[in-house]
Chain A
């Protein structure tokens, strides 16, 4: 036998329906901000993990060769004057044209050939186990990239790259300035 809605046997709305509807709406509103923050954080992480490149440069007598796969960067730095060589491991965060490297390891893999102390030795030994380094980058050619740094001092360096810096860069490459 079927009950008609609105009767005592089959009320059209359950007990406390109004309060429950308001509570449900309030819970939904409270969920919006954390969900948006989570999505933004996930997008940042996925974009950063989309890196797939190699970088090479010689800048002031130091040779750099770096590889980034899945957000993890390994950089080999060689002082051409003394032969001292370091490897640096970092995780790369990429947001727009900014790069933040969270360095987690520094290993001295080859000592200087002479008695002179390499500038790389001084720099790498002066930093802690975990450090942060940030750059702005700009493509200036098919393979050439300029990196701007402001900390700990201002500098500009150019590197040759193969591949893309981030997932966004892979699908929507940044415009190169006209020159």
Chain B
């Protein structure tokens, strides 16, 4: 679990909570999922204009929403982030989008150990500074020089489309395995009517059914053949078979 700290604000995205520490008192606000996603995007790209289309796609994952949804979400964020003192400003740039400005720095605090791995496609959208006092000894820095922040790459949030692509790949793998196993294990049986009766043979390249000594006298019977084993079935007569050398095995 991680949280973003900017000024007196703390954003805990996992639980959608924005906390402001005022005079030793915590004021907590519950945000919607879209508001959290938009605020994260604006914080991660502080000072960079974010287009309305991008924010709509990030906030609502491509779902169709009313034209007022984004302005309403921005207005809600402004209301939650307003001063005094002014610490965060979300500017509206006509026909361009929105821009977030911070009076102080941004810190990413991880409460538990989380593996941080860079994404393959380089589309990580959060690059938040993290305090690194543990890495750089304070004594090594001259007095009055702030500890420089380092940047960590947060795990990118998968979009619905990315999840569906992965689901398709998983389904494809399952289908391919199923088809391969089925083709390998399938026992094909072909039946043909002959003068000696109906002969049903397991289609097998390793055995020559013509070389088998099957009953040759004409009659109404069914001869079932698998490899070297065969079984003669006549109506009202117990089945007669030619046993193979292997013993019975059951399931």
- Interchain CB contact under 8 A, B202 and A119: no
- Interchain CB contact under 8 A, A149 and B226: yes
Main secondary structure, interface of B, reads mixed
- Interchain CB contact under 8 A, B64 and A21: yes
* Most chain B CB within a 10 A radius of its CB, from A88, A101, A134, A148: A148
Quick check: is B104 within 8 A (CB to CB) of the other chain?
no
Q: Mark B17-38, 1 if CB is under 8 A from A, else 0.
A: 0000000000000000000000
Q: A31-39, A46-54, A161-169: which lies at the B interface? A: A31-39
- Interchain CB contact under 8 A, B186 and A98: yes
Quick check: is B247 within 8 A (CB to CB) of the other chain?
yes
**Inter-chain contacts of A7 with B (CB < 8 A):** none
- Interchain CB contact under 8 A, B226 and A148: yes
**Inter-chain contacts of B158 with A (CB < 8 A):** none
- Interchain CB contact under 8 A, A27 and B62: yes
- Interchain CB contact under 8 A, A27 and B164: yes
Quick check: is B95 within 8 A (CB to CB) of the other chain?
no
Interface residues of B in 156-183 (CB under 8 A from A): 160-161, 164-165, 167-168, 171-172, 174-175, 182
Distance in angstroms from B204 CB to nearest chain A CB is: 7
**Inter-chain contacts of B221 with A (CB < 8 A):** 179
* Interface size class, chain A: 35 or more
Distance in angstroms from A46 CB to nearest chain B CB is: 16
**Inter-chain contacts of A150 with B (CB < 8 A):** 187, 202, 204, 226-227
Quick check: is A153 within 8 A (CB to CB) of the other chain?
yes
* Most chain B CB within a 10 A radius of its CB, from A124, A136, A141: A136
A sample of 29 inter-chain contacts (CB < 8 A) reads: A14-B65, A15-B53, A15-B67, A16-B52, A16-B53, A17-B64, A19-B53, A19-B57, A20-B62, A24-B63, A30-B161, A30-B168, A34-B164, A61-B248, A86-B250, A98-B185, A101-B251, A119-B247, A123-B249, A135-B187, A140-B222, A140-B224, A144-B233, A146-B200, A146-B222, A154-B202, A154-B244, A158-B231, A177-B200
